[in-house]
Amino acid sequence: MILAALAFCFWACNPGSENTERDYSTLSDEERKELAMEIALNTIIVDGHMDLPLRIYNQTNGDINSAYDFINRQDEGNIDYVRAREGGVDAPFMAIYIPASYQETGGSKGLADTLIMMVEKLATTWPDKIAMAYSPDDIRNNFEKGLLSLPMGIENAAAIEDDIANVEYFFNKGIRYMTLTHGKDNLVGDSSYDDSETHGGLSEFGKEVVKEMNRLGMIIDVSHITDKTFFDVAEISGAPIVATHSSVRSFTPGFERNVSDEIIQKIAEKEGLVMITFGGSFLDQAYADANSEIRAHIVSWLEENNLTYRDPEAQAYIREYSADKKPSVHVSKVAEHIDHVVKLVGIDYVGLGSDFDGVGDTLPEGLKDASMYPNIIEELLKLGYSREDIEKICSKNFFRVWEKIMEVAEKS
């Protein structure tokens, strides 16, 4: 086994070797697993979206001074420092998530500020292991130092409230992308989860937000928006656009939250990126259908029993009721979505965006937490992807897009 691993390293690490072009799909399962782990640990892996900050917020009751033990293995959630290191993930984007309810109650900007401070506290508490990152070079430098990078993006432009100046305010706070909507239409544009079509696409305010993001070099995240909103963004933006956590709609027909082939083609035309997300309902139609039926039953049951999702009795019932009602989804489905994008527009326009800590218990077998990224690589090797291809998917595509967005900003 040791000799096999050394051979893999020789093939992978010596571009001039005659084995560089080896067909990895012919490897044995054991050989492929070893190679996948080696690639994961020696390649920068960027993940476009994780909801860890809100998990910290909920577990500390929003107290910025409360201790949260990110550095040790945790029983809950999908990522901690140990599992990130085991899986080779190097730069998980921390989602500064603003629930749509804040659009009604107010306080969006304040919540965003608190979540940003909670991410920064992880880096200041463990500076020998974790560092903030605001550019591709930051991530590369942190990787060379053995540090886990924590770049940040805002999920839901409700965080800027009704003030265009807040886009620059958050950029200066370290935010490097912004998801334009979330579960409801907001002041910027229409959400794929909302049937209201309040603006019929981007609002006039939203058009100004897109231009301001271009000026600053902030990545425009088109996950969560309607198709009409997307094409408004594509028309206005002078920089590439990114779907930081979306999968392929052709696998889930009618699910607007995923991206259509037409949208994938437009993203590629604008030199952008689709970062495939991992939730079962995004990956597989049968799973999505079963999940919808379960959700409808549970909503009715909660109402009949005057309970909420958080009540212990409800949690026990939900676990028992849901246990055997969802079809199995495997990590290979993620590779299938990646492969679809590659076959449609090429290897340069796809990446990874797990939505860890944001999709509950819907994650596929073999991809339950941040320790399992090598399993994605293993599936890609089965499909015949080269090491160079996998490095592009893991981070090089994202760095190319981000650097192009920065270049557009410098020229504006």
Quick check: 193 pLDDT over 70? yes
User: From CA 258, how far away is CA 14, in angstroms rounded?
Assistant: 38
Dihedral class, residue 200 (left if φ above 0, else alpha if ψ from -120 to 50, else beta) = left
Nearest to 212 by CA among 167, 155, 277: 167
Domain boundaries, the chain: 45-284+329-411
Which long-range CB contacts under 8 A does 98-103 form with residues at least 24 apart? Answer: 98/154, 98/155, 98/156, 98/158, 98/159, 98/182, 99/156, 99/182, 99/183, 100/156, 100/158, 100/182, 100/183, 100/184, 100/186, 100/191, 102/158, 103/158, 103/184, 103/186
Q: What is the pLDDT of residues 29-68, one digit of tens each?
A: 999 999 999 999 999 999 999 999 999 999 999 999 998 9
Quick check: 395 pLDDT over 80? yes
Quick check: 8 pLDDT over 50? no
Quick check: 324 pLDDT over 90? no
User: Which pair of structure tokens corresponds to residue 232?
Assistant: 């408004």
Beta bridge partners of 365: 330
Q: Specify the 3-state DSSP secondary structure of 276.
A: strand
User: From CA 93, how far away is CA 354, in angstroms rounded?
Assistant: 10
CB 274 within 8 A of CB 360: no
Q: Determine which helix (DSSP H) or strand (DSSP E) holds 150, and give its type and residue range.
A: strand 148-150
Q: Give whole-number Cα distances, 234 to 185, 214, 218, 231, in Å.
A: 18, 12, 15, 5
Angle in degrees, 0-180, between the axes of helices 312-322 and 285-304, rounded to the nearest 10: 140
Mean pLDDT of all residues in the chain? 93
CATH number for the region 45-284+329-411 comes to 3.20.20.140
pLDDT score for 21: 54
Range with the lowest mean pLDDT among 51-60, 192-201, 314-323?
314-323
Q: What is the pLDDT of residues 329-380, one digit of tens each?
A: 999 999 999 999 999 999 999 999 999 999 988 999 999 999 999 999 999 9
Mean pLDDT for 374-387 is 96
Range with the lowest mean pLDDT among 14-28, 38-52, 287-301?
14-28
Q: What is the pLDDT of residues 217-273, one digit of tens each?
A: 999 999 999 999 999 999 999 999 999 999 999 999 999 999 999 999 999 999 999
User: From CA 173, how far away is CA 169, in angstroms rounded?
Assistant: 6
